[in-house]
């Protein structure tokens, strides 16, 4: 295993690329967003993402973050997950990554630490929110504008007057190109836009307003319907085991 640390400024990204090795991407501070061709993963420090070798992906930081990433030779590693897999980034895993990355270790000590790290790679459920962009040029223009400002509440008829298409034409384009009606598409866009801010610790109320919800309760309900979790539970991640009771 090789550990690399990258300080990422707000808005920094590693554009689409692949690795010959498996990768475990983790933000020791801040929030990472990893995009593949099928999903988007938003990673607070409570979660890391296993990225299999040769999988095209992009890594972004919406605010300042520190990415600590493990590169793992496929031929020397017992885990063979073929898809991106989120894992719990509990305190011991974080300490092990730091240990492997900063300590001069002899072969035996490194092997023991790497074996323990393998045992700690525990998959966790992490709902992804996939937002496909329409192909039709005018609908795509609307989608990109909403991506920049997810709280915009204009209707398709209002957007149509701006991009030169009827609301009905835009509705057909969204349904044809994304597979879902525009209203559902905009809900997913808003939830996806909320994830980095939630993971960065911003209050749920302010996040919900920023992405276009009139009430926090409506936002929380929509978030739960999509992910199965409240925003707080999603960001908090798997909890540490309670401390063992003292022995008499």
CA distance 60 to 53: 19
β pairing state of 2-8 and 85-88:
unpaired
Cα–Cα nearest to 135, from 184, 177, 183: 177
Sign, Cα dihedral of 99, 236, 234, 149: negative
Report the b/e string of 62-80 with b at 16+ CB within 10 A: bbebbbbbbebeeeeeeee
Q: State pTM to two decimals.
A: 0.72
> Locate tokens 């057909």: which residue?
172
Enumerate domains of the chain plus CATH numbers: 2-120 (2.60.120.280), 137-235 (1.10.10.60)
Sign, Cα dihedral of 166, 171, 177, 182: positive
CA 23 to chain centre: 15
Q: Are 47 and 93 in contact (CB under 8 A)?
A: no
Residues with Cβ within 8 Å of residue 3, at least 6 apart in sequence: 68, 69, 70, 71, 97, 100, 101, 102
Burial class (CB in 10 A: 0-12, 13-18, 19+), 126: buried
Q: Are 207 and 243 in contact (CB under 8 A)?
A: no
pLDDT tens over the chain, length 248 residues: 899 999 999 889 999 999 999 999 999 888 888 988 877 788 888 889 999 999 999 999 878 899 999 999 888 788 888 899 989 888 999 999 999 988 788 889 988 999 999 899 988 876 667 788 899 999 999 999 999 999 999 999 999 999 999 999 999 999 999 999 999 999 999 998 898 888 778 899 999 999 999 999 999 999 998 888 888 887 776 554 443 333 33
How many CB atoms lie under 10 A from the CB of residue 21? 19
CA distance 175 to 186: 12
């Amino acid at each position: 295993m090789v550990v690399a640390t990258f300080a990422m400024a707000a808005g920094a990204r590693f554009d689409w690329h692949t690795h010959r090795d498996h990768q475990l991407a983790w933000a020791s501070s801040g929030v990472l967003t990893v995009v593949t061709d099928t999903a988007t993963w938003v990673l607070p420090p409570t979660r890391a993402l296993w990225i299999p070798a040769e999988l095209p992906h992009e890594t972004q930081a919406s605010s300042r973050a520190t990415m600590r990433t493990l590169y793992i030779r496929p031929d020397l590693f017992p885990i063979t997950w073929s898809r991106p897999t989120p894992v719990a980034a509990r305190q011991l895993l974080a300490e092990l990554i730091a240990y492997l990355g900063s300590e001069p270790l002899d072969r035996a000590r490194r092997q023991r630490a790497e074996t323990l790290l393998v045992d700690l790679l525990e998959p966790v459920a992490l709902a992804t929110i996939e937002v496909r962009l329409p192909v039709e040029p005018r609908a795509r223009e609307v989608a990109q504008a909403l991506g920049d400002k997810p709280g915009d509440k204009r209707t398709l008829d209002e957007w149509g007057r701006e991009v030169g298409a009827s609301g009905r034409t835009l509705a057909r384009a969204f349904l044809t190109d994304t597979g879902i009606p525009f209203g559902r598409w905009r809900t997913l866009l808003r939830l996806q836009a909320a994830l980095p801010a939630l993971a960065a610790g911003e209050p749920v109320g302010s996040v919900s307003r920023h992405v276009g919800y009139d009430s926090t309760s409506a936002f929380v309900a929509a978030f739960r319907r999509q992910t199965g979790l409240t925003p707080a539970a999603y960001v908090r991640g798997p909890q540490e085991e309670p401390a063992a009771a003292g022995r008499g």
